């Protein structure tokens, strides 16, 4: 297929209609059909194959792509060319000129526009029959019901907090209803390194299970940046961590504001000159304060390809899917390793138990807590309870205790609605427990 | 509830603070922002009341809490703007650490000021060269006095 497209390009203008007719022809999926039409030596047991499978892939499945950046562009391209025809994409970002070297769905005239919207239009124009629905905004602004409509979620994010959020949301959905288990395929790259993983919420380890494996953000000792700078980065951190709050007081540093970066750059340059340090540049200043990691287009291509193959395998059962973590290390020759990251029993997101607690309509909160303490399956003695509006009752620290103690005497029905979830922690529990209340 | 909030609930409700430290929540519904008060019962800073603000972001515990001293105090490991030089608040932070580790770490700075990791260079130099003189300067600064041309906040117990 790639060769045919390439020929079209090299043959010049006349061939553009050739590409169109090729793409419009369903037989362009001939290669993929070979693995979907019949069983092979590695086909998984559940595999049925044939029209039903192809129909599910091309007509029924609905995929959500989170992120339309470096990984997102590759993922959208791959999914569309694999035969997924109902793709949704969400991204809060707008296109920056510096994206254009690798985010190939964007052109110079698109700078400033929504990544999701431009990417969706590009893919729809390029690949006939594919519907891409864009959402310009934050994933956190969509309710659980939004995520319920998809079969698979593929994430190409650059933010840990966004990953933690989507992971926690999908785990919670699966905990509440097994039917709502949505596989999450998470890709990530950092320079020559990358990873692809398959998360089956509540079944496999989740993103939060492996949070301890992440390298914490680079930080230099504050005493070094204050007194004995040796690196250009020390001068930049001095400007952003110490000088900015000193000079601008309450005004917060906005790392997206070029004027703010310029100020930091000037300060850092002066300090670097004073200490005879070379290498402070505008780009490095921006890189340090925004924690920019070099993005390499081909690493994105490798990781996105891996993620999309997993999406195809999960959607069709044509081959066993990744179990469950593939790391790719390209900066010391090439090394890849696939392993099963195990569930962490004390994971605050998926390790916690989820249970239903019955309560009588005339109970106070205190009576309800007593019933929790009496439960044999919990074995707790000093529980702290939170709900959607914050702390419901915490026995400590003293301030929070004083603020939440009046809740003890209130009728439970005034505090919590039917099916409203609460989170319980206790010194005796390694994890939190999600409890939904059922009034009897 | 976010994973950060869950972790903070676990950290805060299971804190076992010595009597020299108390937490204060200006808005008890916002457990991500609070103050810590330290009243050292031994060492050079005994008799003082020191306040720190804790600001916990959604990235916790991947990212450390942001901690600042709200007073201007004469200490080798604190600067005049309230920045704190404590390794686990920056370069040595790990998600397995918790709020308790940070609080204990800050209290330790008052028991054992560390002149080898200075943030206030004059104070560190003072401590290294002449411990007795440094102690006198600390006492005077805690009364709201002036040391080396800088006037400090009065932090003595009422």
SS3 A215: coil
What's the ipTM? 0.85
- N-to-C CA span, chain B: 40
Structure confidence at residue B117 as a pLDDT band (50, 70, 90) = confident
**Nearest residue of A to residue B64, measured between CA atoms:** A216
User: Cα distance from B105 to chain A (closest Cα, Å)?
Assistant: 15
Tokens of A96: 């920056």
| B22-70 pLDDT, tens digit each | 999 999 889 999 999 999 999 999 999 999 999 999 889 989 999 999 9
Length of chain A: 440
List the single residue in B30, B83, B90 with the smallest CB-CB distance to A219.
B90
Q: Please pick, among A73, A206, A209, A223, the residue that the annotation labels catalytic.
A: A223
Structure confidence at residue A9 as a pLDDT band (50, 70, 90) = very low
pLDDT at A159: 86
Interface of B with A in 73-112 (CB under 8 A): 77, 79, 81, 83-85, 87, 89-91, 93-96
Interface of B with A in 131-150 (CB under 8 A): none
- Check CB contact under 8 Å for B2 and A397: no
More confident residue, B139 or A175: B139
| Cβ-based contacts of B11 with chain A (< 8 Å) | none
Place of tokens 């709020």: B99
Domains of chain A: 38-212+295-339 (3.40.50.720), 222-289 (1.10.10.520), 353-439 (3.10.290.20)
List the single residue in B13, B62, B87 with the smallest CB-CB distance to A216.
B62
Rounded to 10 degrees, what is the CA torsion of A275, A278, A281, A284? -90
By the CB < 8 Å criterion, does A403 face chain B? Answer: yes
- What value does the mean pLDDT take over residues B110-117? 91
State the average pLDDT for chain A: 90
| A266-324 pLDDT, tens digit each | 999 999 999 999 999 999 999 999 888 889 999 999 999 999 999 999 999 999 999 99
Radius of gyration of chain B (CA): 16
Q: Please determine, for residue B145, whether its predicted confidence score (pLDDT) is greater than 80.
A: yes
Query: What's the predicted TM-score (pTM) here?
Result: 0.78
B38, B86 in Cβ contact below 8 A?
A: no
Structure confidence at residue A24 as a pLDDT band (50, 70, 90) = low
By the CB < 8 Å criterion, does B54 face chain A? Answer: no
Where are the strands (E) in A105-258, listed by range?
Answer: 131-136, 152-156, 184-190, 193-199
pLDDT at A262: 96
Q: Please determine, for residue A378, whether its predicted confidence score (pLDDT) is greater than 50.
A: yes
In terms of average pLDDT, the best of A149-153, A211-215, B87-91 is A149-153
By the CB < 8 Å criterion, does A389 face chain B? Answer: yes
User: Distances in Å between the alpha carbon of A225 and those of A222, A228, A243, A253, A290?
Assistant: 5, 6, 11, 18, 17
Q: Please determine, for residue A1, whether its predicted confidence score (pLDDT) is greater than 70.
A: no
| A36-48 pLDDT, tens digit each | 998 888 788 888 8
| Cβ-based contacts of B12 with chain A (< 8 Å) | 394, 396-397, 400
- What value does the mean pLDDT take over residues A84-90? 97
pLDDT at A160: 87
Q: Please determine, for residue B95, whether its predicted confidence score (pLDDT) is greater than 90.
A: no
Q: Please determine, for residue A15, whether its predicted confidence score (pLDDT) is greater than 60.
A: no
Which of the residues A157, A216, A392 would you substitute to probe the B interface, choosing the one with the greatest number of B C-beta atoms within 10 Å? A216
Interface of A with B in 191-210 (CB under 8 A): 208
Q: Please determine, for residue A10, whether its predicted confidence score (pLDDT) is greater than 60.
A: no
| A237-259 pLDDT, tens digit each | 999 999 998 899 889 999 989 99
- Check CB contact under 8 Å for B79 and A396: no
Distance CA A353, CA A369 (A): 17
User: Cα distance from B55 to chain A (closest Cα, Å)?
Assistant: 14
Domains of chain B: 3-146 (3.10.110.10)
By the CB < 8 Å criterion, does B72 face chain A? Answer: no
**Nearest residue of B to residue A349, measured between CA atoms:** B3
List the single residue in B13, B62, B91 with the smallest CB-CB distance to A211.
B62
B85 labelled catalytic = yes
Q: What is the full DSSP assignment across B66-130?
A: EEEESS----TTB-TT--B--GGGTTT--TT--HHHHHHHHHHHHHS--TTS-SSHHHHHHHHH-
| A381-409 pLDDT, tens digit each | 899 999 988 899 999 999 999 999 999 99
């Amino acid at each position: 297929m790639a060769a045919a497209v390439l020929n079209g390009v090299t043959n010049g203008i006349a061939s553009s209609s050739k590409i169109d007719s090729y793409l419009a022809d369903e037989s362009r999926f001939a290669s993929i059909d070979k693995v979907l039409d019949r069983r092979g030596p590695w086909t998984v047991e559940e595999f049925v194959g044939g029209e039903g499978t192809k129909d599910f892939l091309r007509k029924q499945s609905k995929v959500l792509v989170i992120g339309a950046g470096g990984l997102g562009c590759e993922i959208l391209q791959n999914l569309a060319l694999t035969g997924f025809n109902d793709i949704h994409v969400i991204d809060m970002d707008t296109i920056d000129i510096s994206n254009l070297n690798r985010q190939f769905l964007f052109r110079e005239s698109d700078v400033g526009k929504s990544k999701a919207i431009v990417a969706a239009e590009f893919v729809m124009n390029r690949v006939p029959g594919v519907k891409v629905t864009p959402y310009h905004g934050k994933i956190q602004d969509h309710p659980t019901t939004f995520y319920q409509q998809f079969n698979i979620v593929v994430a190409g994010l650059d933010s840990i907090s966004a990953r933690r959020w989507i992971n926690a949301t999908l785990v919670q959905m699966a905990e509440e209803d097994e039917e709502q288990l949505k596989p999450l395929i998470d890709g990530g790259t950092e320079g020559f390194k990358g990873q692809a993983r398959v998360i089956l919420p509540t079944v496999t380890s989740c993103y939060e299970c492996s949070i301890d494996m992440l390298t914490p953000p680079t930080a230099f000792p504050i005493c070094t940046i204050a007194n004995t700078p040796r690196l250009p980065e020390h001068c930049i951190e001095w400007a952003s961590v110490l000088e900015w709050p000193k000079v601008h007081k309450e005004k917060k540093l906005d790392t997206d504001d070029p004027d703010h970066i310029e100020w930091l750059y000037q300060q850092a340059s002066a300090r670097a000159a004073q200490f005879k340090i070379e290498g402070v540049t505008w780009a490095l200043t921006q890189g340090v304060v925004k924690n920019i990691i070099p993005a390499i287009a081909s690493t994105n291509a490798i990781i996105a390809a891996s993620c999309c193959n997993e999406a195809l395998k999960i959607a069709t059962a044509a081959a066993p899917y990744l179990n469950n973590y593939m790391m790719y290390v390209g900066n010391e020759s090439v090394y890849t390793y696939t392993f099963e990251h195990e569930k962490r029993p004390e994971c605050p997101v998926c390790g916690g138990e989820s249970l239903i607690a019955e309560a009588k309509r005339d109970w106070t909160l205190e009576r309800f807590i007593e019933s929790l303490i009496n439960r044999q399956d919990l074995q707790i003695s000093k529980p702290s309870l939170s709900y959607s509006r914050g702390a419901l009752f915490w026995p400590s620290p003293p301030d929070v205790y004083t603020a939440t103690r009046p809740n003890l005497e209130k009728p439970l029905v005034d505090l919590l609605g039917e099916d409203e979830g609460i989170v319980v922690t206790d010194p005796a529990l390694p994890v939190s427990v999600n409890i939904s209340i059922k009034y009897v | 509830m976010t994973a950060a909030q869950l972790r903070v609930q676990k950290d805060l409700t299971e804190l076992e603070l010595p009597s020299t430290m108390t937490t204060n929540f200006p808005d008890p519904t916002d457990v991500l922002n609070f103050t810590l008060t330290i009243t050292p019962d031994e060492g050079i800073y005994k008799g003082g009341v020191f306040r720190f603000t804790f600001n916990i972001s959604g990235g916790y515990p991947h990212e450390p809490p942001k901690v600042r001293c709200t007073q201007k105090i004469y200490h080798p490991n604190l600067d005049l703007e309230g920045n704190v030089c404590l390794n686990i608040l920056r370069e040595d932070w790990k998600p397995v650490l918790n709020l308790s580790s940070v609080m204990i770490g800050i209290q330790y700075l008052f028991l054992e000021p560390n002149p080898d990791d200075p943030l206030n260079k004059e104070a560190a130099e003072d401590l290294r060269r002449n411990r007795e003189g440094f102690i006198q300067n600390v006492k005077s600064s805690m009364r709201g006095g002036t040391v080396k041309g800088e006037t400090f906040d009065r932090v003595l117990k009422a």
